[in-house]
Amino acid sequence: MFSNHTLQYRNTQLNYYVYKSNKPGKTVLISGGIHGNEANGMFVALEFFQYLKKHSELFSGTIIVAPHLNPEGFKKRNRRYDETDLNRTFTDKLEHPLSKQINQEILKKIDYGIDFHDSGSTYNLVLHARIPKNQCHLKDFMNHLEVPFCFIRDHKNGMINDFMNKLNKPFVTIESGGNYQVNPEQIEKQINLILNILKYNGNLEGLAKRNKTIPIYQRYRFKAKTTLLIYPKVKLGQTIKKGDTIAIAYENNIHNPIEIQSPIEGYIIALNPHNLIKQNEYVFGIGQCQKTISKIQIANPDLIEYKHICL
C-alpha cells in the first residue's frame, strides 16, 4: 500500500512517500535533495519511485522515498535551506526544526538508507559512495552497493550518514554528476545499485551481486589560475598515470595549444564539463587509493594550481 506524507515547517512542505508491503521486512529510506541544487539525487529518488510503483509486488518491508529533503532550497536552486546547510544539522541536538522533524518522522523508523547527492553547480563527479572512516559495520553493506569507487573520509559532524552510522544503522551517501546535469546512464546505474542493496537487505526478491569498489583515500583538486579554453582528453573514472595528457588548453593571447599533464597517478574523479573555464574554477580532480598525501609538481604552474582536499 502506498501513502503520501508531508512534513510542514513554516511555508515549506516536505513531501515523502511510503510503500508498505504486506510481506514483512526492513524499513529503508531512499532520499535526495537535502542540497536543493543537486539534480542527480532528486532524479534518482524520483526515478526509483516510478520503478517501485510499477513493480511494487516484488518488494518487501517498508520503502520510504523522499526526493526533496530540502524543498525550500529546491525552489531557489540553492544548496542550503536559507542560510543553513541542512546536512550539517543532524548533530546530537538536531540543530534545525526541519532536521528534528525528519528524524522524528523518518530516520527513527528506518533500518538503513541511501542519500543521493551530486557536486552542485560547478563540476561533474564520478559515481561513488562516501563513507566515514572506521565504520566497520558498513563493510559488507558496501560490497553489495555496486559503486565503482568509495571515498573514505573523516567524520563530519551533522551529516545524516554520520548521525545514522553512530546509531549503527547503515547509511551511505552516493554522489554522481553535478552542474545541474543528469546523465541517464548514471541514473540507471544508481537505480541498479538501489535494487541490489534492497536485495541484499531482503527488501526485494532476488540474489544481490557482490561487487568490488576502489577505495579513495586522497583527493586533489586542480583549478584554473587564468581563464582557459580547454578540451579534455580524459573521461570520468578513468585511470591516469603521471605525465598523461589530461587536456589541451589555450590561454589568452597565446596561439599554441598547451598540454595539461597529470602530475600524479590515480583516477579521474571530477571533471568540469565546460570548455571555457574561468579563473579559479575547478578543472579536474584526481583520487588516489594510497593513504599518504602525494607530493605534486605542476608542469604548467601559470595555468593550473592544486589543493589537497580532506575527504
Residues of the shown chain interacting with Zn ion in the complex, contacts defined by CB under 5 A: 35, 38, 117
For Zn ion, which is the closer residue by CB, 187 or 208? 187
Shortest distance (Å) from residue 172 CB to Zn ion: 13
Continuous segment of H or E residues that includes residue 19? strand 12-20
Shortest distance (Å) from residue 203 CB to Zn ion: 25
Grouping H, G, I as helix, E, B as strand and the rest as coil, residue 210 is coil
For Zn ion, which is the closer residue by CB, 299 or 310? 310
For Zn ion, which is the closer residue by CB, 175 or 251? 175
Shortest distance (Å) from residue 159 CB to Zn ion: 9
The values of phi and psi at residue 184, to 5°, are -55, -35
Shortest distance (Å) from residue 37 CB to Zn ion: 9
With b meaning 16 or more CB within 10 Å and e meaning fewer, what string describes 140-172?
ebbbbbbbbbbbbbeeeebbbbbbbbeeebbbb
For Zn ion, which is the closer residue by CB, 42 or 224? 42
For Zn ion, which is the closer residue by CB, 35 or 219? 35
Shortest distance (Å) from residue 117 CB to Zn ion: 3
* Minimal CB distance residue for Zn ion: 117
Neighbouring C-alpha atoms within 13 Å toward the C-beta of 176: 27
Single out the residue of 265, 256, 251, 255 nearest to residue 302, CA to CA: 251
Three cell numbers written together for 169: 544503522
